[in-house]
């Protein structure tokens, strides 16, 4: 288990894509969402937009690592992130097709695959995310942290329903 | 290819179906980015005094070098001759369209000619197609985008017109996504006149940066500063409606009719946040589909105009009206401005319900607001008269109705620039009068003058006393530096205002050239030296060392070319004016009762403004010397040929 974890508060995402922009500049040195390790997919229907961050979820049993025929993918012991060895990667894209989360990306210009390396322990997406959608926090705090967010959200509707049944604070 | 640019200008001739490209580098030396290169392209490709809706007219989209990077820079500038004013039309919108254009490899898209039938343009990197749009013609902007996404791919970014643009309503907009739009000066009508329903873009290419790490570190410095800013935090947390709530002037409707508080709308529906690419503020509210109007995204103007301009207290009515305006693709400011004007005429007995197809134009009445809006969009009966714009409509109605029209150069004024809010602010009055398009909305004058010495102008967390005090200190110092006058930050002062307007215009031109947002930046947030920061970013990104002064030099060039463009369309000194009724009439009530805008003082400000700009005082036309000094020597020749170059007078030197 890595000491830190990159958590996602899906409901808070506004679709600003600042994470894509900073990720591409830091990790590929260009401005191009295609080169970002994280993507925001905005599902749009008429008057509604739902934006969902798609990124490596740092599986405990990574399929990408298992299926890689050249063992080009390894886990960085410091961060727990999957790291692709560009010299070993043959660009077969097996990891791209098998990742259940669409998180591995084939880089057409390099002919190899890239995936989130957690910026070597200081993920820029979390540092920049304006709405706390992405947070890099201690792994042992992540569970209660997500529950807290859910509780705050619930508290609104609970107090509302208490009001509706005539409850008054004394 | 130059760093930070898409690299090419895309030309599309819809009549011939011809598509070709030119390198952006042939323009990017002398002119800069969105607004800068747009005016150069427009100037070079336009024939003065032809109908803006003539097929030969150009419609230009442009993005700047900083667009698509994490600094709240995503704006696409749209330029064309305005069917609403007859002068330069320009308006910009945010969202995700601009960065996508650049990723496709373009900095500008220049559309000319008129297609035989409804079409849309599909751009996927190098591949550019003109496609049949008959299936989506007649659909509103939300539905149009849904249909196109279903047909092509959900990842495309779309700029399109609604029914108003199709029907050539002179103040139709170009809409993008939910809530984003090039709202002012009728750019949607120009698009409609070309039978162009939409531009659909998908780009996957990389924009290179000269010094990516350095760029990111400069950007992050500002990102942190903004993240700690109470104004930004308020918008992030509560939305724009909350920010506007604290601003008394916005809530005062005609004769104080408006008591409704737009923030209640946010409280009622608890909208999700949305906004532009790479921006930390996300200033728009995404209302759920169950809300009145069927849901969608709105921000500042939609929280003001359908309330204050039309005396409306009904929250749901305002929301519905705003969302409908977006779907139809019609300017919420001009449409509400015109309806407001009819309400004033009705109140004064100049028109009756008989003039307006049986609709009594009563303040706040649903039928008068939404009913008349729909009549305009579909050019139904009296709506057809109004669709031509406020001045042509006034001409048709006659009976002195023009004197009741709150407009400059034919562009209806936005709230809060009704007389009660405008007359006490002298700088803003001047700014609106001399502005190329007839408003000061994007010059951000609202944030540059304080009505009262201790009260920050706008968008400031006033409950935060410490921040408000710091804000006032920065404002006073900045404006003193710019104008050389101690009291120029005070709204009622005439002194220093011409200097302030020149500075503000130039500063905002730089923002518009670079695709940067003015709301996150400029004068609202107590963050000084905005242009220095942009210059540092620009230098790191392009690798060309560029200073604050160099950016201002380009801004002055752009401003002069925009002026010459307007001069060739018939701009004269007397068109740089506010409605007659605004002058020399003391306000009778409200917070600023007794305030008056004196025409003698106003004309004096104009003299000084022209002198500072190096324009002939009698005519307001740039002199040869000024044009040569700003690198527009060839333009002086143009003006001379058209007989409009002023004699070799050079006032103010």
ipTM of the complex: 0.92
Residues B491, B449 contacting (CB under 8 angstroms)? yes
**Rounded distance between C-alpha atoms, residue B304 and residue B324, angstroms:** 15
SS3 A43: strand
Distance in Å, alpha carbon of B286 to nearest chain A alpha carbon: 8
The pair of three-digit structure tokens given for residue B493, joined into one six-digit string = 């002062």
Nearest Cβ partner of A32 from B103, B143, B295? Answer: B103
Could you tell me if B142 lies within 8 Å of chain A, comparing CB atoms? yes
The pLDDT of residue A164 is above 70: no
Which is higher by pLDDT, A57 or B465? A57
What is the average per-residue pLDDT within B569-597? 92
Q: What is the mean pLDDT of chain B?
A: 92
The answer to whether the Cβ–Cβ distance between A47 and B216 falls below 8 Å is: no
Q: B70 and A15 in contact by Cβ < 8 A?
A: no
Q: Return the structure tokens found at B246.
A: 């604290």
Q: Which of residues 201-260 of B touch A (CB under 8 A)?
A: 204-209, 212-213, 215-216, 220, 223, 227, 236
For the cut 60, the answer to whether the pLDDT of residue B98 exceeds it is yes
- C-beta pairs of A59-62 under 8 Å, 24+ apart in sequence: A60/A1
- Tell me if A30 and B276 make a contact (CB, 8 A cut-off): no
Q: Test A47 with B69 for CB contact under 8 angstroms.
A: no
Residue A24 has pLDDT above 60, yes or no: yes
Instruction: Out of A28, A43, A47, name the one closest to residue B295 (CB).
Output: A47
Task: Check pLDDT > 90 for residue B442.
Answer: no
The CA distance from B94 to B521, in Å, is 15
Sheet of B196-202: strand order equals: B127-132, B119-124, B196-202, B157-160, B174-176, B180-182
Inform me whether the C-beta atom of residue A132 falls under 8 Å from chain B C-beta atoms: no
Query: What residues of chain A lie within 8 A of the CB of B220, using their CB?
Result: 127-128
Instruction: Give tens-digit pLDDT for B56-89.
Output: 999 999 999 999 999 999 999 999 999 999 999 9
C-beta atoms of A21 and B296 within 8 A? no
The strand ranges marked E within B281-375 are: 284-287, 296-298
Helix (H) or strand (E) run with residue B61 in it: strand B59-62
Whole-angstrom Cα distance, residue B46 to residue B81?
9
A91-144 pLDDT, tens digit each: 999 999 999 999 999 999 999 999 999 999 999 999 999 999 999 999 999 999
pLDDT at B240: 86
Q: Indicate yes or no: CB of A48 within 8 angstroms of CB of B276.
A: no
The rounded distance, in Å, linking the Cα atoms of B105 and B102 is 5
pLDDT at B255: 63
* Distance in angstroms (rounded) separating the CA atoms of residues B316 and B319: 5
pLDDT tens, position by position, B325-338: 999 999 999 999 99
Give the one of A18, A33, A34 whose C-beta lies nearest to B280's C-beta: A18
Eight-state DSSP code of residue B55: T
Neighbours of B431 (CB within 10 A): 26
Q: How confident is the model at residue B249 (pLDDT cuts 50, 70, 90)?
A: low
Percent of residues, chain B, with pLDDT higher than 70:
95
- Output the six-digit token pair for B628: 């040569």
Q: Does the pLDDT of residue B462 top 70, yes or no? A: no
Q: What local confidence, expressed as pLDDT, does residue B258 receive?
A: 80
B450 has pLDDT over 90: no
Question: pLDDT tens digit string along B338-353?
Answer: 999 999 999 999 999 9
Chain pair A-B, CB pairs under 8 angstroms: 111
Q: How many CA atoms lie within 13 A of A79 on its CB side?
A: 17
What would the mean pLDDT of A31-51 be, rounded to a whole number?
93
Which residues have CB under 8 Å from B175's CB, separation 6+? B141, B159, B160, B161, B162, B181, B188, B326, B329
Report residue B524's pLDDT band, with 50, 70 and 90 as the boundaries.
low
Nearest-CA distance B208 → chain A (Å): 5
Place of tokens 């640019």: B5
**pLDDT, position A163:** 63
The beta-carbon neighbor of B207 closest among A31, A42, A127 is A31
């Amino acid at each position: 288990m890595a000491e830190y974890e990159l958590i996602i508060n899906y409901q808070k995402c506004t679709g600003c894509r600042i994470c894509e922009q900073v990720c591409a500049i830091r990790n590929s040195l260009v401005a191009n969402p295609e080169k970002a390790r994280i993507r925001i997919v905005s599902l749009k229907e008429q008057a509604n937009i739902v934006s969902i961050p798609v990124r490596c979820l740092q599986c405990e049993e990574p399929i990408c690592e298992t299926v890689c025929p050249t063992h080009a993918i390894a886990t960085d012991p410091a961060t727990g992130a999957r790291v692709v060895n560009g010299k070993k990667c043959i660009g077969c894209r097996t990891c791209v097709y098998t990742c259940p989360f669409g998180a591995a990306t084939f880089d057409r210009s390099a002919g190899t695959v890239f995936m989130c390396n957690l910026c070597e322990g200081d993920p820029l997406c979390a540092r920049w995310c304006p709405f706390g959608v992405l947070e890099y926090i201690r792994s042992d705090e992540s569970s209660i942290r997500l529950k807290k967010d859910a509780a705050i959200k619930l508290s609104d509707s609970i107090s509302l329903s208490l009001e509706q049944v005539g409850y008054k604070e004394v | 290819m130059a760093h930070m640019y898409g690299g090419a200008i895309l030309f599309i001739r819809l009549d011939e179906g011809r598509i070709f490209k030119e390198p952006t580098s042939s323009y990017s030396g002398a002119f800069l980015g969105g607004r800068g290169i747009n005016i150069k392209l427009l100037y070079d490709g336009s024939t003065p005094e032809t109908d803006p809706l003539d097929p030969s007219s150009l419609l230009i989209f442009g993005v700047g070098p900083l667009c698509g990077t994490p600094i709240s820079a995503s704006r696409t500038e749209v330029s064309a001759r305005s069917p609403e004013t007859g002068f330069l039309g320009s308006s910009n919108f945010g969202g995700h369209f601009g960065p996508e254009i650049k990723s496709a490899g373009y900095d500008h898209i220049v559309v000319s000619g008129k297609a035989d039938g409804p079409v849309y343009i599909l751009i996927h990197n190098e591949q550019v197609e003109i496609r049949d749009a008959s299936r989506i013609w007649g659909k509103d902007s939300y539905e149009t985008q849904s249909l196109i996404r279903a047909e092509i791919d959900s990842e495309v970014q779309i700029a399109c017109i609604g029914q108003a643009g199709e029907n050539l309503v002179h103040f139709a907009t170009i809409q993008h996504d939910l809530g984003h739009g090039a709202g002012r000066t009728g750019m949607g009508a120009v698009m409609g006149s070309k039978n162009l329903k939409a531009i659909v873009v998908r780009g996957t290419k990389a924009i290179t940066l000269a010094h990516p790490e350095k760029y990111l570190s400069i950007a992050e410095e500002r990102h942190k500063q903004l993240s700690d800013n109470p104004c930004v935090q308020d918008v992030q947390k509560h939305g724009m409606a909350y920010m506007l709530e604290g601003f008394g002037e916005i809530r005062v409707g005609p004769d104080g009719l408006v008591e409704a508080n737009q923030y209640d709308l946010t409280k009622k529906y608890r909208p999700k946040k949305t906004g532009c690419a790479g921006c930390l503020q996300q200033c728009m509210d995404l209302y759920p589909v169950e809300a009145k109007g069927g849901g969608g995204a709105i921000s500042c103007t939609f929280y003001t105009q359908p309330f204050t301009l039309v005396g409306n207290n009904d929250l749901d009515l305002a929301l519905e009206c705003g969302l409908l305006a977006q779907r139809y693709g019609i300017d919420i400011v001009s449409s509400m401005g015109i309806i407001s004007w009819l309400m004033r005429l009705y109140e004064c007995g100049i028109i009756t319900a008989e003039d307006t197809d049986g609709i009594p134009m009563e303040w706040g009445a649903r039928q008068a607001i939404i009913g008349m809006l729909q009549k305009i969009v579909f050019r139904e009966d009296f709506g057809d008269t109004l669709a031509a714009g406020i001045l042509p409509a006034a001409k048709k109605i006659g009976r002195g109705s023009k004197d009741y029209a709150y407009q400059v150069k034919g562009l209806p004024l936005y709230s809060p620039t009704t007389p009660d809010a405008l007359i006490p602010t002298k700088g803003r009055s001047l700014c609106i009068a001399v502005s190329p398009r007839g408003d000061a909305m994007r010059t951000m004058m609202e944030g540059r003058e304080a009505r009262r010495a201790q009260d920050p102008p706008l968008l400031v967390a006033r409950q935060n006393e410490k921040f408000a005090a710091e804000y006032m200190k920065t404002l006073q110092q900045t404006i003193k530096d710019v104008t050389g006058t101690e009291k120029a930050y005070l709204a009622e002062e005439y002194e220093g205002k011409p200097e302030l307007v020149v500075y503000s215009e130039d500063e905002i031109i730089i923002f518009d050239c670079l695709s940067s947002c003015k709301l996150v930046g400029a004068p609202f947030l107590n963050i000084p030296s905005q242009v220095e920061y942009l210059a540092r970013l620009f230098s790191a990104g392009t690798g060309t060392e560029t200073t604050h002064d160099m950016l201002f030099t380009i801004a002055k060039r752009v401003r002069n070319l925009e002026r010459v463009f307007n001069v060739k369309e018939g701009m004269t000194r007397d068109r740089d004016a506010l409605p007659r009724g605004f002058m020399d009439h003391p306000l009778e009530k409200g917070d600023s009762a007794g305030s008056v805008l004196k025409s003698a003082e106003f004309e004096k400000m104009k003299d000084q403004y022209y002198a500072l700009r190096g324009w002939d005082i009698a005519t307001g036309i740039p002199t040869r010397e000024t044009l040569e000094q700003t690198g527009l020597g060839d333009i002086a020749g143009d003006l001379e040929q058209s007989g409009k170059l002023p004699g070799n007078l050079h006032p103010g030197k």
